[in-house]
Structure 1
Amino acid sequence: MATGNKAKCAEFNKMLELTDIEIIPQSRFNVPTPEETGTTFVENAIIKARNAAKYSSLPAIADDSGIEVDCLNGRPGVYSSRYSCEHATDEENLNKLIEEVSAFPENQRTARYWCVLVFMKNEFDPTPVICQRSWEGKIILEKKGKNGFGYDPSFLIPLLGQTAAEISPELKNKLSHRGQAMHDMLDVLLKKFGA
């Protein structure tokens, strides 16, 4: 898995626990982190998957994901993990987002998480598998819940009346952008490789 994010690896392994697939973080292979120069989630996911496949000599899955807020013209988008500064903490990013959306009325704070997953057989794979999904919600000014990470404490799921940080990890894996994209990816890999 082309990520250094332990929370993401844990989420993916939880999703895959009923399969024979094990997610191994790229850190185990001393894969250097590439510069994310893309302007879209797809471009950045391809950069990361290609880099991980190159340095590990194994097939790689990369995730690029983030949150898109309508009243902020789609920001933070691909800069979600470094929204407040280059090496920002989740708390710093969330605080900046809350501060920025607080200028807008509640009905304009609609948002969605996006996840793009890219699977590459090797660094030269000309036809990577790309799966993308979104998860609709809205940003609230309060932080609620202890589960999840990133923007989850202020990402309200209107149908549930709870934030992504208030629901169980199991429910989050079923509903979330990442869970849905991984479900799609597994379907493709099973058909393509019998994985």
Structure 2
Amino acid sequence: MTREVLFATNNQGKVRELKEAFKKAGVDISIKTNSDLVDPPHVAETGRTFEENAKLKAHALAQFSNLPTIADDSGLMVDSLNGAPGVRSARYAGEAHNDAHNNAKLLAELGGVSSEKRTAHFNTTIVVSMPGNFDKDLVVNGTCDGRILAGPRGEDGFGYDPLFYVPEKGKTFAQMTTDEKNEISHRGRAVEKLLQKLPDWFNQFN
């Protein structure tokens, strides 16, 4: 029987990546998103860490939907900016999820910083919550190292993908196919750990 889970997001880029990873792994799960719900709650991401923010979303949407719920919080940490934008990555320019403004602010903040000092790291924390069992959350993390370019490259991806260059691939995230990105990205690595642990996690509730 196909298991139904909620992915607590409206970001279709994230949804596409997760669905493709599940399909490739042969996982029989039907993914719903916030757009499939009627008036889902807006969750303020007030946590100080990626894990805290992911749990806030997972708990609120699991309780609302009564479905097992996957939530993630991801962010870009730039070394020369003392880890910024960090947990505020989606709201770096002040307006939530405005990729163009966020990228413009990042480039402005790095003005004059040499290429070798533009090292950065993407992090994803994924939390899976079962309604009524929030003490049994599944938590996994993934990271990817790279550096920030002086200008965007590539047409695909979302967020900071056009600026995040991965030396081992010689490309930005926005220049990669979904499969290429999933192989090495922070979210891809977190999803890989999720796929390994999810069956046993579900079994405890059967």
Bin of the TM-score, shorter chain as denominator length: over 0.9
Separation of aligned partners in 2, 1:169 and 1:102: 30
Stretch deviating more after TM superposition (29-38 or 105-114): 29-38
Matched to 1:93, the amino acid is N
Q: How does 1:19-58 map to 2 (within 5 A)?
A: 19-30=27-38, 31-58=40-67
Deviation at 1:19, TM superposition (A): 1.7
Residues 76 and 123, structure 2, Cα contact 8 Å, conserved in 1: yes
Instruction: Name the residue aligned to 1:66.
Output: 75
Q: CA-to-partner distance for each residue in 1:100-153, whole Å, 9 max, x for gaps?
A: 112311111100110000001115421211000101000011110011111010
Deviation, structure 1 residue 4: 1.5
Task: Compute the TM-score of the two structures, normalised by the length of structure 1.
Answer: 0.95
CA deviations over 1:58-114 (Å, ceiling 9, x no partner): 110101001000000000001111100133511110111011112311111100110
**What's the counterpart of residue 4 of structure 2?**
none
The code of the aligned residue for 1:9 comes to V
Whether 2:150 is the aligned partner of 1:144: answer no
Asked if the contact 1:16–1:22 (Cα under 8 Å) also holds between the matched residues in 2, the reply is: no
1:114 and 2:123 matched: yes
Change in CA separation of 1:123 and 1:49 when aligned onto 2, cut-off 3 Å: farther
In the alignment, the residues of structure 1 paired with residue 126 and residue 201 of structure 2 have an alpha-carbon distance, to the nearest angstrom, of 16
Give the secondary structure class of the aligned counterpart of 1:22: strand
C-alpha contact 2:91 2:97 (8 A) present in aligned 1: yes
- Aligned AA for 1:58? L
CA contact (8 A) 2:158 2:174 kept: yes
What letter matches 1:184 in structure 2? K
Runs of 4 or more, structure 1, over 2 Å off, are 191-195
Q: Distance in 1 between matches of 2:176 and 2:71?
A: 25
Kept after mapping to 2: 8 A contact 1:26/1:56: no
The Cα of 1:36 is off from its aligned counterpart by: 0.8
Correspondent of 2:85 among 65, 68, 76: 76
**TM-score normalised according to structure 2 size:** 0.90
The reply to whether residue 2 of structure 1 matches residue 8 of structure 2 is yes
Please state if 1:178 is matched with 2:178.
no
Match of 2:168 in 1: 159
2:17 aligned partner: 11
Report deviation, 1:182: 0.8
SS of the residue corresponding to residue 138 of structure 1 reads strand
Question: 2-side partners of 1:27 and 1:93: how far apart?
Answer: 24
Q: Is the 8 A contact 2:138 2:201 kept in 1?
A: no
- Looking at structure 2, the residues matched to 164 and 73 of structure 1 have their Cα atoms a distance apart, in angstroms, of 22
